[in-house]
Structure 1
């Protein structure tokens, strides 16, 4: 294990590139097709099933707690009913088939079997060696799954572990900051880097009244101004949340070391750039709307 110091945001940059490619499967037609073959057709049921399946046939409370920014009533409309249609182990297998197909489509056959992909998989898996299960339920559940044999799937799987490891820590930072699930989304969207409200309403179960109420709460705390823009205090709080998330997620990247983190970031950026260029994400996903 290396003790060399990382540049402060090196781990965050690496995670961003890894997570971006991981997230492409949520928007892929292949995922919808694979889950439809199991009888799961509602887009929200698909999302809840594929991300929660590693936890087993859990109820809506567990999903709401671990996903954090979804409205409980939306989750409860689909969970645990989805497990009566498709068992978690079948969902996990379908998810991996969808990832295989979507990565081949987005990246191309040559990239999937390239030396660069194999190198990225080795580096990302090495980073996961320093992840911790304590207090990280989504990471811990996915860490119990077997590592896929094919390099592009092993790379995606390692990205899943690193995503959920950082995500679980991020929830701890949000709780400490006193931001509930919707307030976390509103403050992130207000920075211009978060999800467009249109997509929040469509995917998270919240509506305009919920959003407006969250804005008022944040305004009362002095975190948003009258126009809904972040105040100095709001900017500082978001910066603190991200810095705390970085702190809680340092171990995997410190374990990997500066040179290997830089190399993994370079490889991941290439894969993600190719996927984005191939239309992996909706054009209006990010922004204030």
Structure 2
């Protein structure tokens, strides 16, 4: 399968709904309940434990490096202390139970057990066969986990693999573009597609002063204007970042082929729309303000 046969944005368009469904559990009460039963109760500790557990009982430095846009001081408040509360293997099992309950609540039993779900799982797992491990710590750690037996959990697992594969590559591209974690987040928010500053500061540990300082650095580079909007140069940089991310994330979608990518995109979009309509995400999560 050639790159041109896929179309230049086919992989990106497929990634978006896959990522959306993966992310539902981070906002779901089921995750807090399952990890709370293990003794992990702080919302930030829940987030760090759930996503980092595949790495094993790592320290704060490894989590900060892999997550990229979280303030290290915030990570260090909870990691590695969280592993003295619950073993990573127990966290992974609790996470999967939370995902099971979340998807059943958001999508309904009919969708969870449907032929379309099984088909989506098969397609996403086939795409993930071509993911590469090199310089991709979060993808590689999750790739070591077993594929769940139930189709909706297998689909979520495959979506996680594809999401972390693209994400790891994206971080390398951001670094190459000269953006640190907070600067990358400020520019993404300025596109109107990222999390609002309120959500970033609440979940990533950055103060308003640190946010403003990052915006000032971006203004000095000519990437933001005085109103916090991307300049023409800033828009071009973000477009370059996304194109290069597409390039380094192309292998799984080439492997699946144009027809498979189109089918997976359609199935994934339907599931993601249904989850969003069921209230999967806070209403004020995305936007510039």
Match of 1:220 in 2: 220
The alpha carbon displacement at 1:75 in A equals 0.2
Match of 2:43 in 1: 43
Match of 1:138 in 2: 138
Match of 2:267 in 1: 267
Match of 1:84 in 2: 84
- TM-score computed with the length of structure 1 as normaliser: 0.99
1:250-276 Cα offsets, whole Å, 9 max, x none, are 000000011110000000011011100
Q: Structure 2 CA distance, aligned partners of 1:111 and 1:232? A: 43
The alpha carbon displacement at 1:3 in A equals 3.9
Q: Structure 2 CA distance, aligned partners of 1:266 and 1:227? A: 38
The alpha carbon displacement at 1:185 in A equals 0.3
Q: Structure 2 CA distance, aligned partners of 1:13 and 1:36? A: 35
Match of 1:176 in 2: 176
Q: Secondary structure at the match of 2:120?
A: helix
The alpha carbon displacement at 1:226 in A equals 1.3
1:130-155 Cα offsets, whole Å, 9 max, x none, are 00001101000000000000000000
Structure 1 unaligned runs (5+)?
A: none
1:104-183 maps to which residues of 2 (within 5 A)? 104-183=104-183
Match of 1:188 in 2: 188
Match of 1:26 in 2: 26
Match of 2:250 in 1: 250
Q: Structure 2 CA distance, aligned partners of 1:257 and 1:214? A: 40
Over the residues paired in the alignment, what is the CA RMSD in angstroms?
0.7
Q: Structure 2 CA distance, aligned partners of 1:226 and 1:44? A: 32
The alpha carbon displacement at 1:89 in A equals 0.2
The alpha carbon displacement at 1:228 in A equals 1.2
Structure 2 unaligned runs (5+)?
A: none
Q: Structure 2 CA distance, aligned partners of 1:23 and 1:82? A: 21
Q: Structure 1 CA distance, aligned partners of 2:46 and 2:13? A: 29
- TM-score computed with the length of structure 2 as normaliser: 0.99
1:42-89 Cα offsets, whole Å, 9 max, x none, are 000000001000000000100000000000000000000000001000
